[in-house]
């Protein structure tokens, strides 16, 4: 794994930092600055580049950051981290290539390719990127030649367009989104830390069945503890989708919008449609960097999502 050189040892295999919680993302610029300052890292990047431009890959995680702070805080933290980390790389003569760890559902960072690329911060894309395609997304996008060609066209054209025509984030929009994300994160943490929430999650979703089906590449829980932190993001999002709640894909945004409208009506109007519209129905997904909440809300089924309507209770009634 390590090669020796007169200038010092270096690694031929790229090492990719992973930032997948809100705290990780907020600390990302400082982490990368310290990482790139390490002599062995610098030697490794230069020798891996073989006289070309040194490139450092950085993976940003959508699923775990969404589970940690809610989807609105997650998306904005990823957005701001990319901008800051790209600047850290430029200051040190290293191009940052971001590796987007997106899942197949909105609660795990999915969404239309062109909107995803159009929302990337200026300077974070320099002609290429990496992203994950997994699960049912592979069949949806690449199952036949026509859809695969269309998806690759969107990806290539969007990458080129975002590289050449990226726009700076307007200061008023940054201020509005920062407040929106902070309020949304507070609402999310109040929910998941509320007394009885885990019991509600166990009763309202089929998480017990999901943990037993063993169709994933990894166990549903990291160590087997019955805690939210120990539960992996994939079964977390899948369980809420199966119960028609779709909770990870929308919860917190409405509270954030309501708080923003009350604290800064002008910022709310500049970022959204008229302030008398219902929150969560008029978010400009691409401009605000927020997820396609309207799609999720359309998929949710309020009748089936009632706390008393879940698979375990249905099984009791049918037995």
Last residue of a domain, one of 122, 140, 165: 165
Q: What are the contacts of 209-217 at 24+ separation with CB within 8 A?
A: 209/311, 210/235, 210/238, 210/239, 210/242, 211/235
User: In order along the chain (319 residues), what is the average pLDDT of each group of 10 residues?
Assistant: 84 93 95 96 90 91 90 91 94 94 76 79 86 82 92 90 78 86 94 92 90 79 84 88 84 88 73 44 43 68 54 37
Q: Write down the pLDDT at residue 289.
A: 45
Last residue of a domain, one of 165, 182, 216: 165
- Whether 128 contacts 90, CB under 8 Å: no
Q: Write down the pLDDT at residue 286.
A: 43
For the chain, the first-to-last Cα distance in angstroms comes to 58
9 located within any domain: no
Q: Write down the pLDDT at residue 316.
A: 40
Centre a 10 Å sphere on the Cβ of residue 219 and count the other Cβ atoms it contains: 12
269 located within any domain: yes
- Whether 311 contacts 304, CB under 8 Å: no
Q: Write down the pLDDT at residue 253.
A: 87
Work out whether strand 130-131 and strand 18-19 pair parallel, antiparallel, or are unpaired. Answer: unpaired
Instruction: Supply φ then ψ for residue 230, to 5 degrees.
Output: -80, -20
Q: Is 201 in the same domain as 74? A: no
Say how many domains are in the chain.
Answer: 2
Q: Is 56 in the same domain as 141? A: yes
d(CA 209, CA 226): 15
Q: Write down the pLDDT at residue 184.
A: 93
Q: What domain range is 108 assigned to?
A: 18-165
Q: Is 74 in the same domain as 153? A: yes
């Amino acid at each position: 794994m390590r090669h020796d050189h007169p200038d010092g040892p270096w690694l031929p295999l790229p090492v990719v930092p992973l930032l997948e919680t809100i705290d990780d993302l907020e600390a990302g610029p400082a982490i990368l600055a310290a990482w790139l300052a390490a002599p062995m890292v610098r030697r490794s990047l230069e020798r891996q580049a073989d006289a070309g431009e040194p490139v450092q890959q950085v993976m940003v995680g959508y699923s775990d950051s969404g589970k940690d702070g809610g989807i609105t805080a997650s998306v904005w933290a990823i957005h701001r981290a990319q901008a800051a980390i790209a600047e850290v790389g430029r200051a040190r003569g290293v191009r940052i290539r971001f590796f987007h760890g997106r899942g197949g559902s909105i609660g795990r960072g999915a969404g239309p390719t062109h909107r995803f690329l159009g929302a990337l911060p200026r300077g974070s894309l320099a002609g290429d990127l990496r992203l994950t395609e997994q699960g049912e997304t592979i069949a949806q996008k690449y199952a036949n030649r026509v859809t695969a060609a269309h998806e690759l066209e969107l990806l290539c054209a969007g990458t080129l367009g975002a590289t050449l025509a990226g726009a700076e984030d307007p200061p008023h929009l940054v201020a509005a989104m920062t407040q929106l994300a902070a309020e949304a994160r507070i609402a999310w943490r109040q929910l998941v830390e509320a007394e009885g929430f885990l019991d509600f999650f166990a009763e309202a979703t089929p998480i017990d069945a999901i943990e037993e089906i063993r169709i994933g590449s990894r166990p549903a829980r990291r160590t087997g503890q019955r805690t939210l932190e120990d539960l992996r993001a994939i079964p977390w999002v899948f369980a809420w989708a199966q119960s028609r709640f779709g909770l990870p894909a929308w919860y917190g945004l409405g509270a954030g919008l309501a708080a923003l409208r009350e604290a800064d009506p002008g910022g709310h109007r500049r970022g959204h449609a008229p302030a008398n519209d219902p929150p969560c129905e008029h978010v400009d997904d691409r401009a605000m960097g927020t997820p396609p909440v309207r799609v999720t809300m359309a998929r949710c089924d309020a009748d089936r999502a009632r706390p008393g309507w879940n698979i375990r209770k249905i099984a009791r009634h049918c037995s």
